[in-house]
Amino acid sequence: MALRAARKLVLFLWLVRVVVGQDGWSVTYTTQSVCALKGSTVDLSCSYTCPKDHIAKKLFWFNKWTINEPEDLIEDRTYAERVKYIPFKDNSGHTLKITDLNENDSATYWFRFWTNKTGWKYTGKQGVHLSVTELQVEAIHAPVTEGQTFTLTCKSTCNVTGKPTYVWYKNGQHLTNPKTQTNYLHLDRVTSEDSGRYSCAVKGHEDIRSTEENLTVRFRPKNTSVSVSTFEIVKGSSVTLTCSSDANPPVDKYTWYNKNVTLPKASGQSYSITNITSEDSGEYYCEVQNEIGSENSTAVMVIVAVKSSISGNQPSFVTTVAGVTVFVLVLILCFSGFMWFRMKCSKPTPSKTNKADSGQVDPNSIYANVLHKDNTPTVAQTTATNSEQWDSVYANISKEDLTTCAKAAADALT
């Protein structure tokens, strides 16, 4: 019985083949549906047969069934230059190539051919369904907090044909070692560094990128530091301490501490101490907090200088040199003023001058003249005109005169 049934089946199959063979008409599409990326190029193919006494002549593709003869795709203006017909070399099949796909190309495409016998044509009824899709990165959960696991998916409206491999980009840069699974990108224990713009593409079509998806990782404050407004902290001055930190979401609470004082001193990003006193000296730090966590900054030392910053410090080299220079200049002025005075007094009897006036001159008046007279002769003039008198005049300046003069110079300095 079984054998008989099997024979019948074989006979039946043979008959079917014979019928098809006799009929001879066929169009077989290589795929039923294709999912392609917008902007890419697709090839839709089929093989066809016709009876031996026919020759397939006019071969074309169309995508709109009409009562009349459908429009050949090559003549469709919306496809313009984008379609190309490529017959198989052995004329057993035909390929429709569409370049620069767009959403409007999503449709079913049929192949039809006419033969050399007038009125004979054949159409593959099934057709190929083409879907054109764009890629889109989608976050599985958002927002994400540091330490969590995060998954992104490269979404498309249809499953891209050809078991594609997905490639991922962060801020436009190719991610070299991502943890992926088909169209998913997994990020384990995210940190703030994982924040960025993510996009994806299909390998082989890297130029067709998805839109970007922002990943913003929320993290507790980091890199918290205190900056001080001035380096010269002097009693009575004002100092502002500013706390800065990296945090997402931004810091919403600041607390200031002075290490010597247990209670929080102030809140707010900046802490100002006006009319500072030495009691305000100490180590200051801030504690920052957002909804994820908190962090303390390292402490900064605030030391209040007791004296004013200039007199409290050692005089610098420049100040010293300047002071000495002024002192010497004043001394010289004293000498020259004194000489001028002596010369004026001794002009009528130059021979007696030295002895007669010695000791009688009030040093204070000399000093007053020197300091207050604008047209005091300079050292050069004095020396030039009275060079022969210089030694004697010099010799006659008393110790008292010199000290007075020096004192005056010193006073002028302070």
> Of the two residues 8 and 253, which places its CB atom closer to ligand NAG in the complex?
253
Residue with tokens 């001193």: 265
214 part of the interface to ligand NAG, by CB under 6 A: yes
How many chain residues touch ligand NAG (CB under 6 A)? Answer: 27
Q: How far apart are CA 72 and CA 59, in angstroms?
A: 9
Footprint (CB under 6 A) of ligand NAG, residues 75-114: 102, 104
Contact (CB, 8 A) for 83 and 43:
no
CB of 33 to ligand NAG, least distance (A): 10
Give whichever of 210 and 396 is closer to ligand NAG, judged by the CB atom. Answer: 210
User: Which residues within the stretch 313-342 sit at the binding site for ligand NAG (CB under 6 A)?
Assistant: none
- Tell me the closest approach of the beta carbon of residue 278 to ligand NAG, in angstroms: 7
The footprint of ligand NAG on residues 355-414 (CB under 6 A) is none
- Smallest gap from residue 129 Cβ to ligand NAG (A): 12
Give the range of 24-32, 161-169, 294-302, 310-318 binding ligand NAG by CB under 6 A. 294-302
Within 216-245, the residues that bind ligand NAG by CB under 6 A are 222-223, 236
Give the footprint of ligand NAG on residues 16-75 (CB under 6 A): 53-55
Q: Which is nearer to ligand NAG, 129 or 222 (CB)?
A: 222
**Of 155-174, which residues contact ligand NAG (CB under 6 A)?**
158-159
Name the residue with tokens 């193919």.
Answer: 45
Relative to beta strand 144-145, strand 217-228 is: parallel
Binding site for ligand NAG (CB under 6 A): 53-55, 102, 104, 116-117, 158-159, 192, 197, 214, 222-223, 236, 246, 257, 260, 275, 277, 279, 281-282, 287, 294-296
